[in-house]
Amino acid sequence: MSSITTCKIDGLPKRTPHPLLTRFAQNNAGLTLKAALSIAAVYLFTRLLCLLLAETNAESLQDPGWLYARAVHRPPIPSPKKLRLNVTSANQADLPTIDILIPCCGEADDIILDTVRTARAIHYPSSHARIVLLDDTNSPVLRTAIAALNLPRHRNIHYHTRGPKTNTTDFDKAGNLNHALSTLPNPAPFIAVLDADTLAHPDFLRATLPHLLANPRVALVGSPQHYYNIPPADPLHQSFTWYVQLLTPSLNAYGLAMATGSGFVVRRSALTTINGFSNLTSTEDIMLSCAFHNADYHVLVLPEVIQYGLAPPSLKGYSFQQSRWASGLAAGLLALRDGPRNNLPDSLRPRIAFQGFRHLWSHFYRVVALLGVPLAVCSGKALVPGVVLRMQTVLACWVLALMWLLEGMRVAGAGFRVGVFAHFEGIWLAGETSSPLYTSSSQNSHAETNLKAETEPNHP
């Protein structure tokens, strides 16, 4: 096969220039964030002096604070361009081969087969794309159905299983993928992963592969997760508009993007350097992104809709989904512990553990702050000296003003109208999402197994 560097990549037509307000917001949002964090730090210090450790809106500025801490040490990276790999019958020999892996574990057969059909419809030569269903249930029905989906001239759809479950140590999505990486013959240089309920756009590979081909330091390219079963008005805010439209561009700009596990393309050689997919937590996509960042690889999340999935169909399922994501982030703290599920390289473990500690601490200190309020009230002493009260009032006004300014500039910079402070849309789930942070990973795994069939259709 010819060198893949000869592939032709086309850029999509450029949009009209952004309005002046949008450009101003994009250029000055970082300065506003710096000012907001500085004033917030002084404000919180005065509150500490007054023994007022109650939860305040100022703490919402600390969520993007880690982003600024990294951003001040590196220049912004331009947002990923919308590219398309030129796929024609004349250049098929120059295209790279790719394995499209679809892990599943007990989802409905019709949902799984719909995913396989959309993967087969991806605009890419079947001779260069191998579709493999990774079935952890060892279902004879799926085995037969997959064989029937092959076209007479192009038999590129395969069924793969690890057999009966002898133990549950590695029988999760990450373990399923790692088993395929080590056992599938003729491995391709690129791997696409689709959840069992993810419908890929026909341009899924044509949109993601150009970024991997153009830069060897790009290890993973994905896109935000979208759902096709969101009810009218989205009462549970399952579309994550704020994360997709505002936070994702910021993470991309500073090289801190986090892939969604529902659909992405990864470079096999980069995946090998971090020992494959992490078995440490149920959020293997977050761990994968963290490992790549700490190994000096790039992760890109494209500003395009090239995949659709199924959102949890019930309130209980949505609550469980949020709990799983929260506990998965905190479980990064377990990276320092040796065990059969920890396959992270030794050099990456301290940094990933620190990220897990930071996420856990961000919840813990807020609980401590709330507990400090009744203790301060019961002390019988003056809580706020008069001089400090005036200073605190002025600082509070500045903090609130900068918070609104920052949120407004982020909205203007993204060019997408969304409610200010939309990232608080799921705060009513605080009790549900924080409780698993203080339980062991084994308890979380057991709960996921029991709830999987009833709640979300995705692989655990």
pLDDT, one tens digit per residue, over 399-427 is 778 777 777 766 666 555 555 555 555 55
pTM value > 0.95: no
42 or 179, greater pLDDT = 179
What's CA 294's distance to the chain center, in Å?
Answer: 16
In the predicted structure, residue 44 carries a pLDDT above the cut 80? no
Confidence band of 165 (pLDDT split at 50, 70, 90): low
CATH superfamily of 83-353: Spore Coat Polysaccharide Biosynthesis Protein SpsA; Chain A (3.90.550.10)
213 or 256, greater pLDDT = 213
The helix/strand/coil state of 459 is: coil
Predicted local confidence at residue 412, as pLDDT? 67
Q: In this structure, are strands 199-200 and 298-301 parallel, antiparallel, or unpaired?
A: unpaired
Predicted local confidence at residue 356, as pLDDT? 74
Alpha-carbon distance of 63 to 60, in angstroms, equals: 6
Mean local confidence (pLDDT), 41-54: 61
Given a contact cutoff of 8 angstroms between Cβ atoms, the answer to whether 57 and 400 are in contact is yes
Given a contact cutoff of 8 angstroms between Cβ atoms, the answer to whether 260 and 240 are in contact is no
Mean local confidence (pLDDT), 321-339: 72
Given a contact cutoff of 8 angstroms between Cβ atoms, the answer to whether 270 and 297 are in contact is yes
Alpha-carbon distance of 343 to 338, in angstroms, equals: 9
Domain ranges across the chain? 20-77+356-418, 83-353
Which of 213, 225, 224, 218 lies closest to 458 in space, CA to CA?
Answer: 225
Backbone angles phi, psi at 213, to 5 degrees: -75, -30
The helix/strand/coil state of 302 is: coil
262 or 283, greater pLDDT = 262
In the predicted structure, residue 58 carries a pLDDT above the cut 50? no
CB 15: neighbour CB atoms within 10 A?
Answer: 8
Predicted local confidence at residue 133, as pLDDT? 96
Confidence band of 65 (pLDDT split at 50, 70, 90): very low
Confidence band of 240 (pLDDT split at 50, 70, 90): confident
| Torsion of the alpha carbons at 42, 46, 47 and 48, rounded to the nearest 10 | 100
Q: In this structure, are strands 157-161 and 129-135 parallel, antiparallel, or unpaired?
A: parallel
In the predicted structure, residue 380 carries a pLDDT above the cut 60? yes
Predicted local confidence at residue 188, as pLDDT? 95
Name residue 266's beta-bridge partners: 191, 220
In DSSP notation, 382-430 reads -SS-HHHHHHHHHHHHHHHHHHHHHHHHHHHHHT----TTGGGTTGGGH
